[in-house]
Amino acid sequence: MSQAKANLDGLKVLLGVSGGIAAYKAVDLASRLSSAGAKVRTVMTEAACELVGPKSFEAVTASAVYRNLWSSNQEYKISHISLVEWADVVVVAPATANIISKIANGICDDLLSTVLCVCWAKPALLAAAMNDNMWTNPAVQRNVKTVKRMGFELIGPVKGRLACGVEAMGRMSEPEDILGRIEKIASEVKKG
């Protein structure tokens, strides 16, 4: 991890967590990012909060969790603007079919989708995770192609055991693999 520490020291990562069962892995990713020297702020969707608690992210990042478009953790700051201005890179883990579809279609109905759809002009990584029936759905595949054309990078999904109990494509990449991809993005950010 010493190489990761050197590569991520001071990198400001905005971690988006959407409502997929793989949200529990995002806590591990947030912890790894913090351990590698990154500064992490987390934005969670309402659905993500049903699966894992914001306090877990606050504990591993020593930073407040942002959950609502209409409230701000900093008085008089517009959160979706200030978060984008603060961050060097955004990572969404898990990136569900829902959030990918919102990005592809410009739907901004919560804090995370607003940040991604309207305000984002920096490196962005989506760690795709969903049931294999969703992943292979033609509408989802069209949306994946659209977000890639928009400049979003994707990692995964990978084949493995899904929440429904089957072995199939749809599992979120492991936090260590996502961290490796973030290291590559960080090296590009530092060059630019």
Residues with catalytic function: 164
- Yes or no: say if 184 and 157 are a contact pair by the CB < 8 Å rule: no
CA angle 68, 106, 132 (to 5 degrees): 90
Residue 110: phi and psi, rounded to 5, are -155, 175
Cβ atoms of 94 and 128 closer than 8 Å: yes
Cα–Cα distance measured from residue 94 to residue 30, given in angstroms and rounded to the nearest whole number: 12
Rg of the chain on CA atoms, in Å? 15
User: How many angstroms separate the CA atoms of 190 and 163, rounded?
Assistant: 37
Query: What is the H or E stretch that residue 13 is in?
Result: strand 12-17
The pair of structure tokens assigned to 7 is 């590569």
Cite the beta strand spans of the chain per DSSP E: 12-17, 39-44, 65-66, 89-95, 124-128, 153-155, 158-161, 167-171
